Structure 1
Amino acid sequence: MTQLAIPFLLMRGGTSRGPYFRRSDLPEDLDQLSNVLVAVVGSGCATNVDGVGGGTAVTTKVAMLSPSSRADADIDYFFAQVSVEDRLVDFAPTCGNILVGVGPAAIEMGLVPVSGDKTSVKIHAVNTGALVEAIVETPDGRVNYEGEAAIDGVPGTSAPVALNFLDVVGSRCDGMLPTGVAIEQIQGYDVTCIDVAMPMVIGRAKDFGITGYESADELNANEALFARMEAVRLEAGRRMGLGDVTKSVVPKFGLISEARGAGHLNVRYFMPWKCHPSLAVTGSQCIAACALTPGTVADGISRPIAPSPAVVVLEHPIGDMEVTVTYERQGDTLRFIAAGLIRTARLISRGDVMVPEAVLSAPKLAVAGT
């Protein structure tokens, strides 16, 4: 069996991991690309034993980089979520955790030159149109991965990567509240449909029959909960203008409850068919915006948030995530301007990933978001 060798970097970005490619090293045709990515990850098997995936939704993600088509950006970042077992590829969402590795990967690939002890990389998230600035430590002319920054969900410490998210309102939908209201009822549940960095459906944990403090494993075992959430999500996707989202991971789902520690909110974030082990970077911005917006499901649950710029602390299954938000409020109207986070990344390996040449002519797969 003839195999193709495709150059790649395997990187951890935030609390996710996956292969990073040059877009030019992969097929342009999305059907062929999907087949290649399924082979790379090893989708179709719970362990991804025949690929580089890790058997979870946070380790079957793919980043594809190229020089940007936008004058205000350095890099185009095209993201793909590959399913663990179902041989599905979704190009609809972006991923903020994998995005953490885009700046370092672009420098490692020679797509962006080092510009001093710290290098700014302006990233265009192709899937959503968002613009993000990453500040990467580059002493001695190369990416530094060692440092004292720690994030919950990743062992040890690493060099910080600062992210500034710009132009994130209405990433896929028509505005921040695409249905035109802050709360609506779907299937008998009060939910907020909101789009800041990631389209989400957000409900109150207690309304869905849980405390909101369960572990990710406990929630993943609750099939009845997922059935309730999926029925709501499918209808919410239609109302948000996303169409039939049966095979798409967008919109994501979030359940909130009162913080137990020093945070503003406690969060369980769903991807959407598994509970995230921590919290997505994009989801954190959307939930922060929900907490800031009057009249949403967060009213009466979120602790008061300081004037802009404010640090919003979100508690998740294994710790906290801090989001610095810049916003303006006029009466009951919120203008969400930008969000900033500190995350970490690490280069794990580099080389060629091998895929069977036959995948280029394999039958079409189910592809979402195209």
Structure 2
Amino acid sequence: MTMMNSIPCMIMRGGTSRGPFLRMRDLPDSQEAQAEILLNLMGSGHALQIDGIGGGDPLTSKVAIVERSSDPEADVDYLFAQVDVLNRRVDFNPNCGNMLSAVGPYAIETGLVEPEAGTTIVRVRNLNTQRLIECHIPTPERQIAYEGDTTISGVPGRAAGIQLSFLEITGTKTGALLPTGQATDTIDGIEVTCLDAATPIMMVNAADLGLSGHESPAELDDHHPAMLKRLELVRRQAGRRMGLGDVSQSVLPKPVLVSAPVDNPSTLCTRYFVPHRCHSAIAVTGAIAVATAVSVPGTVANRIAVEAGKLEAGRQLSQVRLEHPSGFIDLDVEHRDENACDIVRVSLIRTARKIMSGTIFYSLPATPARDTLTSKAS
């Protein structure tokens, strides 16, 4: 027996991602019960997510849950959920910086934050990482401006720019920038960098896997099965070394292939996995982690940047441009006292758009399943 239920919903594009935005107050307290609702409203368990609003892709199978914050330093709390497309699993462990781009506008749209004249700064506490982010939302005449002249790679057209500043990003899940205590580790004969800044990642020099690092996502996904299998095995071992335990059912750490850039203004070329398919661009949090790693001596990213002449050995880089399959992303990295391992904030520009506001309906079994939750937000 199933029951038809409904919940207020706003569908928004945030950066290069899209998904429903929900109020925490409209969901049950249990994260397991929340997961069951998200799976059904997204239509997971089917490649097309035909019975829900998911887009059949990890980038469009994401949910943002937002509520007024009890933290005096924040305006709103934001819980991100990655909803599996094919499997009935929800991961509350990672953060998503692209969906975060729309949290500020959503908070204003729903009355959680009062808009200011000119620019409204919405302080967001991310419940997945317990970190703060400042979102600078353009609000001329106290109205959200979605239209503008800003372009971001991976999104068609132009929109109003939203500045995101991620504060105190190191050790979000592991408690350390370099959770293994080293700039590089050797796993299965491959030199990797395990780093935790905004999100845990595992970086590999693409050349060490027999790749140029400039392959398209389709080529990597469809024509390199042996490489993907090896990359996943290395990722799982990296997860254990980082103190994350068995990560076979988690999306963290994210694997990133790095290589020398094609375009002269760029710092590095990246191919980011989510974690079993190559991202069509790069996640915001993943970009922050790579940009942070560029200045950390001895990391895979640092070595490639130095060898490519993008950085002088022993120096820090405050402006980083990363190439990805859809273009590039620019990040500003602020170090404390010129310490490469002590990052005050990382800022970048994204865009967002409100797509739909209304009520979403979903079917829910009378007795929720018990195997829908893969990990809890810390």
User: Is TM (by shorter chain) over 0.5?
Assistant: yes
Residue equivalent to 1:344: 351
Give the Cα–Cα distance (whole angstroms) in 1 for the partners of residues 95 and 232 of structure 2.
20
Residue equivalent to 1:123: 124
Residue equivalent to 1:240: 242
1:308 Cα deviation (Å)?
6.5
DSSP 3-state at the match of 1:217: helix
Closer/same/farther in 2, CA of residues 35 and 180 from structure 1, 3 Å limit = same
Give the Cα–Cα distance (whole angstroms) in 2 for the partners of residues 80 and 250 of structure 1.
13
DSSP 3-state at the match of 1:334: coil
Give the Cα–Cα distance (whole angstroms) in 2 for the partners of residues 272 and 49 of structure 1.
23
2:360 is aligned with 1:369: no
Residue equivalent to 1:253: 255
Letter in structure 2 aligned against 1:96 = G
Residue equivalent to 1:231: 233
Closer/same/farther in 2, CA of residues 206 and 258 from structure 1, 3 Å limit = same
Give the Cα–Cα distance (whole angstroms) in 2 for the partners of residues 238 and 349 of structure 1.
41
Give the Cα–Cα distance (whole angstroms) in 2 for the partners of residues 32 and 313 of structure 1.
41
Residue equivalent to 2:318: 310
Which of 277, 282, 285 aligns to 2:280? It is 277
Residue equivalent to 1:143: 144
1:299 Cα deviation (Å)?
3.6
Q: Which runs of 5+ in 1 are unaligned?
A: none
2:363 is aligned with 1:356: yes
Maintained 8 Å contact 2:294/2:317: no
Give the Cα–Cα distance (whole angstroms) in 2 for the partners of residues 231 and 357 of structure 1.
36
1:152 Cα deviation (Å)?
0.5
Closer/same/farther in 2, CA of residues 321 and 152 from structure 1, 3 Å limit = same
Maintained 8 Å contact 1:20/1:64: yes
Which of 267, 271, 291 aligns to 1:268? It is 271
Maintained 8 Å contact 1:32/1:361: no
Give the Cα–Cα distance (whole angstroms) in 1 for the partners of residues 124 and 157 of structure 2.
27
Residue equivalent to 1:295: 298
Give the Cα–Cα distance (whole angstroms) in 2 for the partners of residues 299 and 325 of structure 1.
14
Aligned length: 368
Residue equivalent to 2:341: 334
Deviations 1:159-198 (A, max 9, x none): 1111111011101012100100001101111000000000
Residue equivalent to 1:110: 111
TM-score w.r.t. the length of structure 2 is 0.94
1:69 Cα deviation (Å)?
2.2
Give the Cα–Cα distance (whole angstroms) in 2 for the partners of residues 312 and 299 of structure 1.
12
Residue equivalent to 1:178: 179
1:329 Cα deviation (Å)?
6.4
Maintained 8 Å contact 2:36/2:372: no
Closer/same/farther in 2, CA of residues 44 and 192 from structure 1, 3 Å limit = same
Between 1:304-313 and 1:70-79, the stretch displaced more is 304-313
Residue equivalent to 1:193: 194
Residue equivalent to 1:99: 100
Closer/same/farther in 2, CA of residues 120 and 329 from structure 1, 3 Å limit = closer
Give the Cα–Cα distance (whole angstroms) in 1 for the partners of residues 150 and 327 of structure 2.
15
Maintained 8 Å contact 1:26/1:33: yes
Give the Cα–Cα distance (whole angstroms) in 2 for the partners of residues 140 and 305 of structure 1.
43
DSSP 3-state at the match of 2:351: strand
Letter in structure 2 aligned against 1:194 = L
Closer/same/farther in 2, CA of residues 101 and 330 from structure 1, 3 Å limit = closer
Letter in structure 1 aligned against 2:257 = L
Residue identity over aligned pairs, in percent, reads 42
DSSP 3-state at the match of 2:158: coil
Residue equivalent to 2:41: 40
Give the Cα–Cα distance (whole angstroms) in 1 for the partners of residues 58 and 291 of structure 2.
23
Give the Cα–Cα distance (whole angstroms) in 2 for the partners of residues 4 and 175 of structure 1.
42
What does residue range 319-330 of structure 1 map to in structure 2 within 5 Å? 319-328=327-336
Give the Cα–Cα distance (whole angstroms) in 2 for the partners of residues 288 and 357 of structure 1.
42
Give the Cα–Cα distance (whole angstroms) in 2 for the partners of residues 32 and 366 of structure 1.
9
Maintained 8 Å contact 1:35/1:365: no
Give the Cα–Cα distance (whole angstroms) in 2 for the partners of residues 46 and 223 of structure 1.
20
